[in-house]
Structure 1
Amino acid sequence: MKRTLLTLAIVIVAFLLNQETASAQVTVAQKPTPPEYKLSIAEKPGTDYQQIPGHWIWHRPSKMYVWVGPRWVEKKENKKWRPGHWQKQSKGWKWNPGKWEKIKKKRYFFK
């Protein structure tokens, strides 16, 4: 039974991800919590890959946030991944998606 439910959940998420998605800044009354089930994550494909943690995306057709599980992506040169986070707003919560940011080099100034 658990295996059937897990398979069904994976199929639904795959279907939703193949639909049109957008990173709209939509405010929700209550921030959602990630799903409780654990999926096995594929092995790291190579040394030039980094794991992006699970995160939320706005699914425009269903008008709801959808959870996307963790995945491996190629590292970007001179950049690091900053994970997304929920931010409290006056009328609820807004999801700020993760993004690649330039690595700031430390500069040392001597007198």
Structure 2
Amino acid sequence: MKKTMLIVLLGMVSFLLNPETTQAQVTVEHKPSPPKVKLPLPEKPGPDYQLIPGHWIWHRPSKMYVWVGPHWVLPKENRKWSPGHWQKQKKGWKWIPGKWEKINKRKYFFN
């Protein structure tokens, strides 16, 4: 079991380090399911870190979406994380990547 998890983890790392891995929005016929093997969640590096959930990225050389496991990041100032999602298209499904969205801090003054 440990060997399988190590192989999966190394595969994911090699995909991420490949310069041809992109965030392209490619339509596929069938929406992929997240992997059934659950890797342990990395330890939180500090109190200010936010967990980015697992998500899909397009891997151009293999012409397929690959799963990236959850990871911790420092949040961007005045922004919140909006997770990615699958969007139905006429001819299949398209992955809409997650992104940091600006937080609207509107102040209303009443007299």
Q: TM-score, normalized by length of structure 2? A: 0.90
Partner of residue 4, structure 1: 3
**How many residues are matched?**
110
Task: Report the alpha carbon displacement of residue 109 of structure 1 after superposing the two structures with TM.
Answer: 5.8
CA distance in 1, matches of 2:23, 2:45: 27
Partners of 1:42 and 1:3 lie apart in 2 by 15
* Residue in 2 that maps onto 1:87: 87
Alignment-derived partner of residue 73 in structure 1: 73
- Residue identity matched to 1:17: L
| Counterpart mapping for 1:1-111 below 5 A | 2-19=1-18, 20-108=20-108, 110=110
Structure 1 residue 61: Cα displacement: 0.7
Secondary structure of the equivalent of 2:72? strand
**Cα distance in 2 between the residues matched to 1:3 and 1:46:** 27
How far did 1:100 drift? 0.2
Letter in 2 for 1:16: F
- The separation in 1 between residues aligned to 2:86 and 2:107, in whole angstroms, is 32
Query: Where do 5+ consecutive residues of structure 1 fail to align?
Result: none
Aligned Cα root-mean-square deviation (Å): 1.4
Distance in 2 separating the partners of 1:35 and 1:106: 40
**Structure 1 stretch displaced more, 46-55 or 93-102:** 46-55
